[in-house]
Chains A and B, each alone.
Chain A
Amino acid sequence: MSQYTVAFAGNPNTGKSTLFNLLTGLRQHTGNWAGKTVITAEGEFTHNNHTYRAVDLPGTYSLYSNSADEEAARDYIIFEEPDVTLVVLDATSLERNLNLALQVLEITGRAVICVNLIDEARRLGIDINLKAISKRLGVPVVAISARGKIGIEALLDQIERVATGAFTAQPLRISYSDEIERGIAELIPMVEQTVGSRYPARWIALRLLDGDESLLHSLKTHMGRKNITETKEVVGHGVTAYH
C-alpha cells in the first residue's frame, strides 16, 4: 500500500471541485469568485489499495498570466512535484481548456487529462475523439461526468497507471520558432547548472525568455539562498525581444 499525491488543475467552472468532492467526500464550497481558492483544499481517496492525497488547486485559465491563483497552481505543480497532475477540462469548451493542458504538459508528463461534462457535450452534439487527443498529447485522456458519476472508475485506473509508473508518458513537446529554440538551447545548460536537474529546464528556459519575473521570484524562494542573478543577466543581455 502506497500513497500518492494528485493535484487537480483546471479552468474555473469545469467541475473540478465537483470531481474533487466526489472523490474525497468533502463538502466544500464549490462556487468561484475572484481570488477565492488561493489556499488549496486537500482530501483523500483510495482506489485498488492505493491511497491518494488529493490537492484542489485554484481554477485558472493559464499558469502564466501572473495572478495569485495562477502562481499558486504553477508553484504547486513545479515545486511540490505531485505524482499525478489531473487536468480537468470542460468538454463543451475544449479549445480554450486545452491551453492549460498544454501548459501543464510542458512542465510535467505525469498527467492525466480528464474531459469533464461529457454528458453536457453530448447533449450539445459535440463528439470528442478521445483517442486522437490522447495520442497527440501523449498522456491518458478520460471522459467523465462528475455530476452524473460517469467514467469515474476508468479515470481512477488511469490515475493509478501514471502514479505507479505503469504508464510512461511521452508528452507532446511543442516546437517553437528557430529563434526561440536557439534561445532555449542556449539557456538550458545555464538553467541546469543553476537549478539542477530536479525542475524542467526547457520549461524554465522558456519562462526566462518570456521575462517571467514571478517565476524567478518563486524559484529564488524555493531554492533557499541560492543566487540566480547569473541567469537573470543572460535574459537582460541577449534575449528580451521575444515577448
Chain B
Amino acid sequence: MAGVVIPLSEAVNGSKLVISGIEVQGVLRRRLLDLGFVVGNAVEVLRRSPLGDPTAFRVSNTTIALRREESELIYGTLIGGGDE
C-alpha cells in the first residue's frame, strides 16, 4: 500500500504518512500548520478513541488529536506501518 495518497482519516493505526496536502482553510489551517501539520512532514497514526473519533497523531515529536472533520481534509502518502 506504500505510495498511495489517502486522507489521514482513512489511515489505520500504526501507519506512517508524509503529508502531501492540506485542504483545511482559514484560521484552522493556520493552526494546523503551527502544530506541525506541514506538507512534507511525517505523521504517525497512534490510536483512535473508542467511538472512532478523534484520532491521535504523532507529528513533529508531539501527539495531537484531530477530529474527522479536519483529518479527512489532510492528505498523506503512505510510507509504512499499519496492518493493511
Q: Within the complex, which residue of A64, A95, A210, A243 is in contact with B34, where a contact is CB–CB below 8 Å?
A: A64
B49: interface (CB < 8 Å): no
- The dominant DSSP class at the A interface is loop
Do A62 and B61 form a contact, CB below 8 Å, given A243-B25, A243-B26? no
In the complex, which of the residues B25, B26, B27, B34 contacts A61, with contact meaning CB atoms closer than 8 Å? B34
**A residues within 8 A CB of B26?**
243
Using C-beta atoms within 8 Å of the partner chain, give the interface range for chain B. Answer: 10 to 19
Which residues of chain A have C-beta atoms less than 8 A from B30's C-beta?
A: 62, 64-66, 210
Main SS class of interface, B:
helix
Q: Which residues of B contact A65 (CB under 8 A)?
A: 27, 30-31, 34
- Please give, as numbers and ranges, the residues of chain B lying within 8 Å of A50 by CB-CB distance: none
A62 to B60, CA, bound (A): 15
- Chain B, Cβ-Cβ closest to A62: B34
Other-chain contact of A92, B27, B31, B61 (Cβ < 8 Å): B61
- Give chain A residues whose Cβ lies under 8 Å from the Cβ of B27: 65-66
| Any B CB within 8 A of the CB of A240 | no
A30 close to B (CB within 8 Å): no
A243 touches B62 (CB 8 A): no
Contact of B36 among A92, A95, A210, A243 (CB under 8 A): A95
Contact of B60 among A64, A95, A210, A243 (CB under 8 A): A95
Write out, one digit per residue, whether chain A residues 73-117 have a CB within 8 A of any chain B CB (1) or not (0): 000000000000000000011011001000000000000000000
| Minimum CB distance partner of A211 in chain B | B26
Chain A: number of interface residues, binned into ranges = 10 to 19
Q: Check: B48 CB closer than 8 A to any chain A CB.
A: no
Judging by beta carbons under 8 Å apart, are B31 and A243 in contact?
A: no
Q: Report if B2 contacts A (CB, 8 A).
A: no
- Chain A residues with CB below 8 A from B39, complex form: none
B29-48 CB mask vs A (1 if < 8 Å, else 0) is 11100111000000000000
**Docked-complex contact A93 and B60, CB < 8 angstroms:** yes
Q: How far is the CB of A206 from chain B (nearest CB, A)?
A: 13
**From B29, which residue of chain A is reached at the shortest CB distance?**
A243
Q: Which A residues are in CB contact (< 8 Å) with B35? A: 61, 96
Q: A interface vs B, CB < 8 Å?
A: 61-62, 64-66, 92-93, 95-96, 99, 210, 243
* Residues of chain B whose beta carbon lies under 8 Å from any beta carbon of chain A: 25-27, 29-31, 34-36, 60-62
